[in-house]
Amino acid sequence: MSTEAITHFSQLALAAPILQAVNEVGYESPSPIQAQAIPPLLAGRDLLGQAQTGTGKTAAFALPILSRIDLSLHQPQVLVLTPTRELAIQVAEAMQTYARHLKGFHVLPIYGGQSMEAQLRPLRRGVHAVVGTPGRIQDHLRRGTLKLDRLTTLVLDEADEMLRMGFIDDVEQILEHTPKEKQVALFSATMPSVIQKVAQKYMRDPVEIKIKAKTSTVATITQRYWQVTGLHKLDALTRILEVEEFDAMIVFVRTKTATVELAERLEARGFSCSALNGDMNQALRERTIERLKKGSLDIVVATDVAARGLDVERISHVVNYDIPYDTEAYVHRIGRTGRAGRKGEAILFVAPREKRMLRAIETATRQPITPMQLPSHADIAGRRVAQFKDALSAVIESQELGFFEEVVASYEQEHNIPVTQIAAALVYLVQKERPLLPAAEKETAPREIRPERSERPDKPRARDEQRRSSGAERAVEAGMVRYRMEVGRNHGVLPKNIVGAIANEAGMDSQHIGHIKLHDDYSTVDLPAGMPKDIFQHLTKVWVCGHQLRLSVDSGKDPQGDHKPAHAPAPRKDKPKHGKALPKKAAKPKPKEKRKVKES
């Protein structure tokens, strides 16, 4: 079957659990690289693919690899090398998503900056796939903690980027530690001579694929993005809906369940909204679209599949609440607006770890996506007041108000109260359901987005680490809340471990994580106020250095429950190597003895 004839994933010989996950994710038809790469990879062939980021290449190699995985063998069978920790995390998460119906499947991301112990435990338990950066993979190979003797597939992702970053020698050394009989897939945006030599040396008769980027967007669409920070996405979306001048809007999410949940929440906040997903029957779908066309519905929350072919002239805005998996999907999404020469607005929500996909979209569309500031409370108040004034003008122009004027005049005479004060009281009564001056939310407004770590010099970053953990506990800054975590120095935790865990698990820019203070058995961290409940509950279960954070609002009490001043340091306990407290009369270590420093 030619790749042109492949229009659906069901035409590929993917394992049933993988195909089920693909359908749930919302993929409709394979992208060009997926249609060309999946068949030879399923057949066990080596593959040399030239494709840009954002073309869907992660699914192109992950889906066939997962279809061939041996779940009974709890040893690394797949190794994916990536140039950065962000990409390693992204690929590992994608593989976990595609393998959601593979019972017992385990994938482990391995990268520098994370505690070595946090990586050793899952390796000892056994994993099926490892995704990592060359430097940390080499560390494990030198220590003998990563065994590759049962490896069946090796993927080199973004090989030219690894070359640019100086990792190509490390990659070759890693390749020397792998079995000779294995499948190799190499993906690269460009094919410099060094990459070609690696391919010739380590690949056997590879299938060669070259995907040309054809993606482009309509010039009449203005594209903006908001970087997800301390504020919850739902609250950010609500602010945008309050202030943006839109006629009708599509909000894109990744899953069918999310369409229903988000639509219900927006309706509860007073917006005319409905879900649109593949589970809806044709009659209900047509009724929803007709309501959108006629203006009795303003917002539709949809998946990619449900919105394909949707053409409603009223749609002025598209919001990518969840970033799409590839650039083609992004172009299809925002193509729902700006049609037939009309102007359109596209807004994209981007978490810090998704900045790579943002850059890929800009490259593929050949258009810049500009950062946007969320509307402030003053902006929202101004918008509501303007709408209220417009409503007043419409009533004055269209209604007979003689009787009501007599009522006001009568009240003025009886109580000797100025007309302006009476009018103010009436405005107060009218706006009680939707206050013109909204109450200040608990969430902090997003702070200025600072450069990413790669753009900042090392020394200030080192000073920042010292600032986070040194000295006595300081007063909590305005807009922040101090939380307690049940991990401390005795568990081998370092500030960077806490920063990495919270930033990755909460999707929060590390610059929004405030002061960290380490104690023996616990630590404190300052985070933006108004943390969403679901994120808080998730962070309580996050593991750092072998211990759960068990996050809670700091009450200013020490581990024994006695109240302590906020500035008082916690009393240290001497502990032996195995972490159990020594008896009170036990001898203390001699002052000259050196404490072992755990590697992070």
Q: Are 360 and 327 in contact (CB under 8 A)?
A: yes
* CATH superfamily, with its number, for domain 458-553: RRM (RNA recognition motif) domain (3.30.70.330)
Residue 384 CA neighbour count, 13 Å, CB half: 21
Residue 37, SS3? helix
Distance between CA atoms of residues 585 and 461, nearest Å: 42
**pLDDT at residue number 564:** 40
Task: Tell me how far apart the 2 most distant CA atoms of the chain are, in Å.
Answer: 99
DSSP string across 305-335: HHHTT---TTEEEEEESS--SSHHHHHHHHT
Q: Which residues pair with 208 in a beta bridge?
A: 48
Res. 445: pLDDT tops 70: no
Interval 91-149: pLDDT, tens? 998 899 999 999 999 999 998 878 888 899 999 999 999 999 998 999 999 999 999 99
Lowest mean pLDDT among 67-71, 152-156, 303-307, 355-359: 303-307
Residue 370, SS3? strand
Mean pLDDT of the chain, nearest integer: 80
Q: What is the pTM of this model?
A: 0.51
pLDDT tier, 315 (very low <50, low <70, confident <90, very high otherwise): very high
Chain-centroid distance of CA 192 in Å reads 32
Res. 4: pLDDT tops 80: no
Fold match, 221-371 / 458-553: no
**pLDDT at residue number 137:** 94
Higher pLDDT, 273 or 566: 273
Taking the domains of the chain in order of start, what are their residue ranges? 3-210, 221-371, 377-430, 458-553
Q: How far is CA 481 from CA 83, 280, 412, 529, in A?
A: 36, 43, 49, 5
pLDDT tier, 405 (very low <50, low <70, confident <90, very high otherwise): confident
Interval 215-238: pLDDT, tens? 566 677 899 999 887 568 888 898
Res. 180: pLDDT tops 50: yes
Higher pLDDT, 328 or 393: 393
Q: Are 203 and 155 in contact (CB under 8 A)?
A: no
Residue 559 CA neighbour count, 13 Å, CB half: 15
Res. 576: pLDDT tops 80: no
Mean pLDDT of 204-221: 78
**pLDDT at residue number 10:** 87
Lowest mean pLDDT among 210-214, 455-459, 511-515, 540-544: 455-459
Q: Tokens for 328?
A: 């083609």
Res. 529: pLDDT tops 70: yes
Phi and psi for 562 in degrees, rounded to 5? Answer: -80, 140
Q: Are 229 and 236 in contact (CB under 8 A)?
A: no
Mean pLDDT of 532-549: 82
Architecture of domain 221-371: 3-Layer(aba) Sandwich (3.40)
Mean pLDDT of 335-348: 83
**pLDDT at residue number 578:** 39
Fold of 3-210: Rossmann fold (3.40.50)
**pLDDT at residue number 122:** 92
Listed in order, strand segments (DSSP E) in 477-589 are: 480-485, 516-518, 523-528, 543-544, 547-548, 552-553
Question: By percentage, how much of the chain surpasses pLDDT 90?
Answer: 32
Radius of gyration of the chain (CA): 29
pLDDT tier, 492 (very low <50, low <70, confident <90, very high otherwise): confident
pLDDT tier, 594 (very low <50, low <70, confident <90, very high otherwise): very low
Q: Where are the alpha helices (DSSP H) in 269-418?
A: 282-294, 304-307, 327-334, 355-365, 377-398, 402-415
Q: How far is CA 423 from CA 252, 326, 405, in A?
A: 42, 54, 11
**pLDDT at residue number 440:** 52
Res. 439: pLDDT tops 90: no
